[in-house]
């Protein structure tokens, strides 16, 4: 079964301001949280999701993406698989960070919704051509699909309304090598293509697009977004359950809790979204406890998606960025010319500050409400 593109009614006619969005992802744990946030956001019109390899292989990414969307009640969203390897390098994945299937300890039913017959980069190009100036592209993965899309359609930067990238490390240490961030490190050739193409001076400028440049959220701001157990507890309370997803089931309405085997106690219902979050994030938090010295999780991708919906969450500076492709120690580094010594025009709006508390309040409220509505 294949998807047929469906023309969405313009937001103005629906009486609300909504951001028409395509998400490109490599669905591991924080990507899945970003997808839940998109579904939970009334100001997001999720048009499609494209998948590429990164946290796990591309086929597993597509499975995770569809399963998470089904969990959230959005089996209508088109999901397309794209390129399954980086442009020029051997694929590396990160099972130690996201688990062997990319969703930590969580278990989800096998996805029932069909995979799109369209190739991910083609979907991006076709939808941008069909809705020129309307779509926001949010990239949460290695930039492989986006690079292929812009190579196929050099006008893509002018066809999209906005591009928001989770990737790079501009004034902080890397998380893959000393100076490199994961998404860029996986496919640095793709990152260079995208930064050059989307950063051409004035390429995306128009009456509705005062900024011509893509917005990039690097580790400088995303590692300030530390999701802690208390955030999950707040979210679960809004959903009307315990942080493990267990609902009332005891004699006086108390939480049924977990059995010794790890499942729900007999007779208690489960909030599936909170249970998913608890099981996925527990793996992620254990990883960060081992490697980063805190029991919590950096949720890079939800912050980027939230910024695509509300740019006021971050403050940016326009800067020239290039990607190192041949350094013995620095391949994949996003080199930012903060002192303007290159004399080249800026090509990226790099996020330098973020309103993390406001973002977390919004994440907890929205995803908590989504979970409450799915009981």
Q: Which of 32, 34, 30 is nearest to 21 (CA)?
A: 34
Return the structure tokens found at 313. 């969450």
Buried b vs exposed e over 350-365: b needs ≥16 C-beta within 10 Å?
Answer: bbbebbbeebbebbbe
In 10 A of CB 176, how many CB atoms? 17
Residue with tokens 């802690």: 228
The DSSP annotation for 191-240 comes to HHHHHHHHTSTTTT-BTTBS--SPEEE-HHHHTT-EE-HHHHHHHHHHHT
Residue with tokens 């744990």: 29
How many CA within 13 A on the CB side of residue 116?
Answer: 27
Q: Which 3 state secondary structure label does DSSP give 294?
A: coil
Q: Which of 81, 62, 79, 77 is nearest to 8 (CA)?
A: 77
Q: How far apart are CA 345 and CA 322, in angstroms?
A: 12
Catalytic residues: 300
Q: Which of 30, 29, 7, 32 is nearest to 20 (CA)?
A: 7
Task: Report the DSSP beta bridge partners of residue 334.
Answer: 323
Q: Which 3 state secondary structure label does DSSP give 344?
A: coil
Report CA-CA distances (Å) from 23 to 229, 232, 308, 322, 350. 27, 24, 10, 23, 19
The percent of the chain in helix, strand and coil, each rounded to the nearest 5, is: 35, 20, 45
Residue 165: which H helix or E strand, with range?
Answer: strand 162-166
Dihedral angle computed from the Cα positions of residues 293, 295, 301 and 307, in that order, rounded to the nearest 10 degrees: -90
Q: Which of 105, 32, 36 is nearest to 64 (CA)?
A: 32
């Amino acid at each position: 079964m294949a998807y047929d593109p469906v023309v969405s009614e313009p937001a103005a006619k629906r009486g609300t301001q909504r951001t028409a969005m395509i998400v490109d992802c490599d669905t591991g744990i924080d990507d899945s949280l970003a997808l839940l946030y998109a579904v939970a956001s009334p100001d997001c019109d999720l048009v499609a999701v494209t998948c590429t390899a990164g946290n796990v292989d591309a086929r597993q990414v597509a499975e995770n993406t569809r399963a998470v969307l089904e969990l959230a009640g959005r089996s209508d969203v088109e999901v397309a698989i794209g390129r399954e390897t980086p442009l020029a390098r051997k694929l590396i994945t990160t099972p130690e960070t996201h688990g062997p299937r990319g969703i930590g300890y969580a278990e989800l039913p096998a996805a029932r919704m069909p995979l799109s017959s369209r190739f991910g980069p083609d979907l991006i190009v076709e939808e941008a051509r069909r809705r020129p100036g309307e779509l926001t592209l949010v990239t949460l993965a290695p930039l492989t699909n986006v690079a292929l899309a812009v190579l196929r359609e050099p006008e893509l930067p002018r066809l999209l309304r906005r591009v928001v990238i989770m990737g790079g490390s501009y004034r902080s240490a890397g998380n893959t090598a000393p100076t490199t961030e994961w998404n860029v490190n996986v496919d640095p050739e793709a990152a260079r293509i995208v930064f050059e193409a989307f950063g051409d001076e004035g390429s995306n400028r128009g009456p509705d697009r005062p900024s011509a440049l893509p917005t990039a959220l690097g580790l400088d701001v995303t590692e300030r977004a530390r999701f802690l157990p208390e955030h999950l507890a707040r979210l679960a309370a809004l959903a009307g359950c315990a942080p493990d997803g267990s609902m009332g089931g005891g004699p006086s309405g108390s939480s049924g809790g977990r059995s010794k085997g790890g499942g729900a106690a007999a007779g208690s219902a489960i909030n599936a979204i909170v249970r998913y979050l608890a099981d996925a994030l527990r793996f992620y938090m254990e990883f960060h406890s081992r490697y980063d010295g805190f029991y919590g999780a950096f949720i890079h991708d939800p912050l980027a998606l939230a910024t695509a919906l509300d740019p006021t969450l971050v403050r940016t500076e326009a800067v020239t960025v290039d990607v190192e492709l041949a350094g013995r120690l620095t391949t994949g580094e996003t080199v930012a010319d903060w002192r303007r010594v290159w004399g080249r025009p800026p090509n990226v709006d790099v996020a330098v500050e973020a309103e993390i508390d406001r973002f977390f309040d919004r994440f907890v409220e929205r995803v908590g409400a989504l979970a409450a509505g799915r009981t």
